[in-house]
Structures are given as C-alpha cells and as structure tokens.
Amino acid sequence: MKVIIIGASGQVGGAIMRLAPKDWETTGTYSGKPKPGLIHLDVSNRKEVFEVFEKVRPDVAILSAAFTNVDLCETDKERADAVNVSGPLNICDASVKHGSKMVYMSTDYVFDGENGPYREDDAPNPLGYYAWTKLEGERITAFTPNHLIIRTTGVYSADPDSLNFVMQVIKRLGAGESMRVPSDQYGTPTLADNLAEGILTLLTLGKTGIFNVAGSDFMDRYSFSLLIADIFGLDKTLITQIDTPSLGQKARRPLRAGLIVEKIEKEAGIKMVGAREGLMFVKERLNASR
C-alpha cells in the first residue's frame, strides 16, 4: 500500500511514519522544517499538491499537517485559512482525482467544552478560529469516499523537538523554573505512539467515518502536570494552579473537552492507554535515548 503522510515533520505525522508497517510504501512530507527522508509539500499550494500526488499516486493520504498554534490562528486568519481550509480542500480534490483514501487529523476543539468528554456523534460547536478551521477541514474531508476522520487531543511524546505539554513540564521543572497550569481545562491526554497505533489499525481494518483516538483518562491539566512531576521525580512545588482566564490567551478554550474512546476500543480491538501508562512509556523512551 502506498501512503503519503502529509506533515510527517510534526509530532503526530512523525509517529505515524515511524510506526507504519514496514511493507507499506510511505512518503512523508515537511513544509518549513526539512527533515532527512521527507519531501517538501506546502498544502496551501494547490499546484504543488497535485504534482506530489501525480508523483506518489498514494492509495492513502494522511493529512496531519496544520497551522496548529491555536492563539496565532486568531491573529493570522489568512494563514489559518490557507493551511487549515484550503489545505484540506487541495488534498481532498487530489485524493478524489487519484482515488486515494483521505485521512484527516481533527481535534476535540471542534466542541465547546460545556459537557465533555465527547462521543463521535456529539454536535460540534467550535469556540475559536483554529477550532472553526479544523471543523471546516472535517466537512471538506467528508466529501471524499471512504474517508477517515480522526479526532484527538493533548498529544504528547518523547520527542525532544516537540513543544508538547509533557516535554515542556519536564524541561521547565527540570531547569528549576516555575509553571502556572490551569486546573479548569479538562481533556484526555494522548500518547502519540498509541494514537499512531490506533490510526494504523483503523486503516488496516479499512474503517471509515469519524473515530476518537485519544487517551483513556479524563483529567485536568494541573492534575496531569502533578502526575508528570511525580513520575519524572520533579519538584511539584514549582507548579502553581491557576484558572484559564488568568492565562490571558487570545483563543477561547473548550474547558470540559476530551474524547470518549469506546468506539475505537470496540471496533478496532485496541487499548487506548491512560495517563500513567503513557507517561511511563515516555520515561522509558527518554531513558533509552540517553
């Protein structure tokens, strides 16, 4: 099977690329940060998208690329539109042309966070511009036959290049820096390797439609940061509990978000791991790379 992973230089795309079955012919792409073995693709450049699809002729196109800075999406709507709306549209059209199955990475931010965690068929109601563009991407993807829409949230990994929350806590507490962490933002933190395993299993099984692929523990960010400190032997007293408004963030956050993973566990027969198990995995990875 020929698979193109668009955004393989990112945290999620990188994990999918790394864990894809060895007998799949994978092509990974980057946009701004070249990485060895990846080819360039800017999803907002329609001509380039069609050229790359013509060259690769993928059976499956996984769109993991996005403008992921939630607050910058509020101030740079032009870029958010180009990458997160025109991007999926270009990939959708190229996928239809080449008969490729389109897989789209989405988020629990499509919900308003009034009563999470959410199931796949709950009604979206995005609060911010990033969230709105991601929902538009879902709607565009739904035009392609046999599509797969993956919703995830709060992804972390042992990737030292990534700015994921777990690596930030480890780096900052490890350097003796203090952190202010909101205790009113709830989610289901997700181990990138487990997310990739979920996506690859769904693809292997030929599943279509929307699937939540996330961690199995529903918890607030402050409690998660304390658990990280606990597992990595870091100083918990450096963490101060705050509420979301005092962070002064540009984009509104869905406060009670997170995703229920019953559907993937039942239909794909895999286990989505909880926070402690995910963090132990990251710890082993970091120890092994030392």
Ligand X SMILES: NC(=O)c1ccc[n+]([C@@H]2O[C@H](COP(=O)([O-])OP(=O)(O)OC[C@H]3O[C@@H](n4cnc5c(N)ncnc54)[C@H](OP(=O)(O)O)[C@@H]3O)[C@@H](O)[C@H]2O)c1
- Of 46, 38, 43, residue with least CA distance to 13: 38
Which range, of 28-36, 204-212, 225-233, 281-289, touches ligand X by CB under 6 A? 28-36
By CB under 6 A, the residues from 136 to 195 that bind ligand X are 152-155, 162
Report how far residue 10's alpha carbon sits from residue 134's, in angstroms, rounded to the nearest whole number: 17
List the x/- string, 90-129, binding to ligand X by CB under 6 A. ---------------x-x----------------------
Report how far residue 151's alpha carbon sits from residue 109's, in angstroms, rounded to the nearest whole number: 9
Residue closer to ligand X (CB basis): 142 or 238:
142
User: Residue length, the chain?
Assistant: 290
Closest distance of CB 87 from ligand X, Å: 6
Taking a C-beta distance cutoff of 8 angstroms, is the pair 157, 193 a contact?
yes
| Host H or E run for residue 73 | helix 72-75
The dihedrals phi and psi of 28, each to the nearest 5 degrees, come to -110, 150
- Of 178, 182, 159, residue with least CA distance to 285: 159
Closest distance of CB 235 from ligand X, Å: 25
Please identify which residue in 7, 88, 128, 278 interacts with ligand X, judged by CB under 6 A.
Answer: 7
Residue closer to ligand X (CB basis): 100 or 162:
162
Closest distance of CB 237 from ligand X, Å: 27
- Of 16, 37, 20, 38, residue with least CA distance to 29: 38
Which range, of 16-24, 27-35, 119-127, 270-278, touches ligand X by CB under 6 A? 27-35
Using rule CB under 6 A, residue 47 touches ligand X: no
Handedness of CA 260, 265, 266, 267 (dihedral sign): positive
Using rule CB under 6 A, residue 44 touches ligand X: yes
Using rule CB under 6 A, residue 10 touches ligand X: yes
Using rule CB under 6 A, residue 68 touches ligand X: yes
- Of 131, 129, 147, 38, residue with least CA distance to 91: 147
Closest distance of CB 176 from ligand X, Å: 26
Using rule CB under 6 A, residue 30 touches ligand X: yes
User: Which positions touch ligand X (CB under 6 A)?
Assistant: 7, 9-13, 30-33, 41-44, 64-68, 83, 105, 107, 134, 152-155, 162
